[in-house]
Structure 1
Amino acid sequence: MLSQLKTLAVAATFAVTAATGTAALAAPLKNGPPAPEFTGITKWLNSDPITLQQLRGKVVLVDFWTYTCINCINTLPYVKSWNQKYKDQGLTVVGVHTPEYPFERDTDNVKTALKRFGITYPVAQDNQYATWSAYNNQYWPAFYLIDKKGKVVYTHFGEGDYAQTEAAIQALLAQKD
């Protein structure tokens, strides 16, 4: 019985933490390496070409995704929401579309997916996996949060931990330049 109560207490604490994002604020953001530049991009969609140097002073969420990956599709409502909620506060979302299958390399297919999903933020088409490789990425979806100084300070792979990711975005936006 005591074991069940402990399990219930831990689960309740986890649920409150997940709902409020307070645990993410308690865990400091790491002082990571400089973010690799976008490289080998075949095509930019929804924007002119962007460099991380141009984005210095902003918080950047780099989202590696591909349009047929169900896990990527499941994260899109959160990414789009963060873009809408925080873009005027200094967040820039950049989707890096890295294809898993040959048909996902076709720019028209990616454009169709952007319309279907209502994605309006910049998307870099990384058909040769150059930016993917520069980040040593291995996952779809993958989030890399870059601070105002251009350092990768937070990563998340796969679905979930949305409150923690949003808390990290908020903490980075609150930091002084």
Structure 2
Amino acid sequence: MRLGTERPEIVGATDWFAEDKLPADLTGKVVLVHFWAVSCHICHETMPDLIKYRDQYKEHGLQLIGVHQPRYEADSDLNKIQEDVTKYGIDHPLAVDNEQKVAEAYQNEYVPAFYLFGKDGKLFFRTAGDKGFEKLQPKIEQALGLA
């Protein structure tokens, strides 16, 4: 997915956690779409900081949407996903993408991966992995007009 691309709708999820917290209209919001998997060690390492960013920037208009993208068949176990939801305090909308339809729409192959969309609904920044995660916070601040 290229910078400047319109944010794809999140359709095709096989299950949802906290779907009721997904705003009907994301117009004018900075949206961070986060792909992760229960079997991903780096995903677990970065999750506490990601949750911190979610809470820190929520009042400034950041909307975090998680997408659980399984890497292996065992990752599609909803009980394992629920364990991580509880462990990390994931109370933002979380799509379970067991059929890889959301990942396909975002052209995503990696976990963790982060797609940051500006208030105009266009891709502002994308990155993956732990090294990419280190670059995320300044980009969030920039997209929110805080930098």
TM (norm. structure 1) is: 0.75
Q: Corresponding residue for 2:11?
A: 39
The one-character-per-residue Cα deviations of 1:74-94 (angstroms, maximum 9, x if unpaired) are 111221010010011100111
Contact 1:58 1:91 in 2 (8 A): yes
Give the equivalent residue in structure 2 for 1:18: none
User: SS of the residue aligned with 2:121?
Assistant: coil
Kindly report the root-mean-square deviation, in angstroms, between the aligned alpha carbons of the 2 structures.
Answer: 1.9
Amino-acid identity (%): 35
Match of 1:124 in 2: 95
Q: Aligned to 2:79, which of 95, 108, 118?
A: 108
2:16 and 2:94 in contact (8 A); partners too: yes
Q: TM-score, normalised by structure 2?
A: 0.89
**Secondary structure in structure 1 of the residue aligned to 2:64:** strand
For the pair shown, which has the larger CA radius of gyration, 1 or 2? 1
Equivalent of residue 60 in structure 1, options 16, 28, 31:
31
Matched, 1:69 2:40: yes
Residue 153 of structure 1: aligned partner? 124
- Structure 1 ranges of 4+ moved more than 6 A: none
Distance 2:36 2:3 in 1: 25
- CA deviations 1:61-119 (Å, max 9, x no partner) are 10100012001111112210100100111001111001112122122221122112222
Cα distance, 1:49 vs structure 2: 7.3
Q: How many residues align?
A: 145
Q: CA deviation at 1:174?
A: 1.3
Matches of 1:162 and 1:71, distance apart in 2: 10
Structure 1, gaps ≥5 residues long: 1-29
1:80 is aligned to 2:51: yes
1:44: how far off? 1.4
What is the aligned counterpart of 2:68 among 97, 103, 107?
97
**Aligned-partner Cα distance in 2 for 1:161–1:36:** 21
